[in-house]
Amino acid sequence: MPTISNDELALLNTLERSTGAKANDVFATNECVTFIVQQGDLGKAIGKQGANLEHLRRAFGKNVDLVEDAETLRAFLANIFRGVEFLSVEEKEDAASGRKIVFLKVNAEHRGKAIGRGGEKINRARALVKRKFGCDDVKIS
């Protein structure tokens, strides 16, 4: 797990104070703040009828995404790509470069949902999987 900056620590504290949920990590971009909440705390973080999530969106002035943490890569990917069915998940290491790459095979009708508008979802998944599992890339086919 990477070192958490003071800005990220402030985001984590805001989540905990606002919702009572605990987060293990946070990844922020100009457009979105993504929290990795502890297993079992996702419902608490979202709040009744999404009230906590909406409060966080207003507080940060940007979209907020919540991903429940998981111990295994496959379970973590399933939490990132909620609603996308995987046909297969393969983790391979490129012999030449030593890079670890995760290959996700999804149904054709779920491909767009997995990639997201402008590649937003797959790019976020790449960053989260790199932070948590040390994988260099995630590819969808």
| Residue 31: predicted pLDDT | 86
What is the CA 69 to chain-centroid distance, rounded? 9
Q: Give the CATH number of domain 6-68.
A: 3.30.300.20
- Domain map of the chain by residue range? 6-68, 83-140
Task: Give the CATH architecture of domain 83-140.
Answer: 2-Layer Sandwich (3.30)
Mean pLDDT, residues 15-44 taken together: 93
Q: Sheet containing 32-37: give its strands across.
A: 23-28, 32-37, 63-68
Domains 6-68 and 83-140 share a fold: yes
| Residue 81: predicted pLDDT | 94
| Residue 95: predicted pLDDT | 82
pLDDT at 1 over 70: no
pLDDT at 4 over 80: no
| Residue 76: predicted pLDDT | 96
pTM of the model: 0.87
Rounded Cα distance between 139 and 89, Å, is 10
- Dihedral of the alpha carbons of 78, 27, 29, 127, in degrees to the nearest 10: -60
> How buried is residue 120: exposed, middle or buried, by Cβ count under 10 Å (0-12/13-18/19+)?
middle
| Residue 106: predicted pLDDT | 93
Q: pLDDT-derived band of residue 30, with 50, 70 and 90 as boundaries?
A: confident
Q: What is the pLDDT of residues 32-51, one digit of tens each?
A: 999 999 999 999 999 999 99
- Residue 60 has a CB neighbour count (10 Å cut-off) of 15
| Residue 2: predicted pLDDT | 63
Q: What is the pLDDT of residues 75-134, one digit of tens each?
A: 999 999 998 989 999 999 888 888 999 999 999 898 999 999 889 899 999 999 999 999
| Residue 26: predicted pLDDT | 93
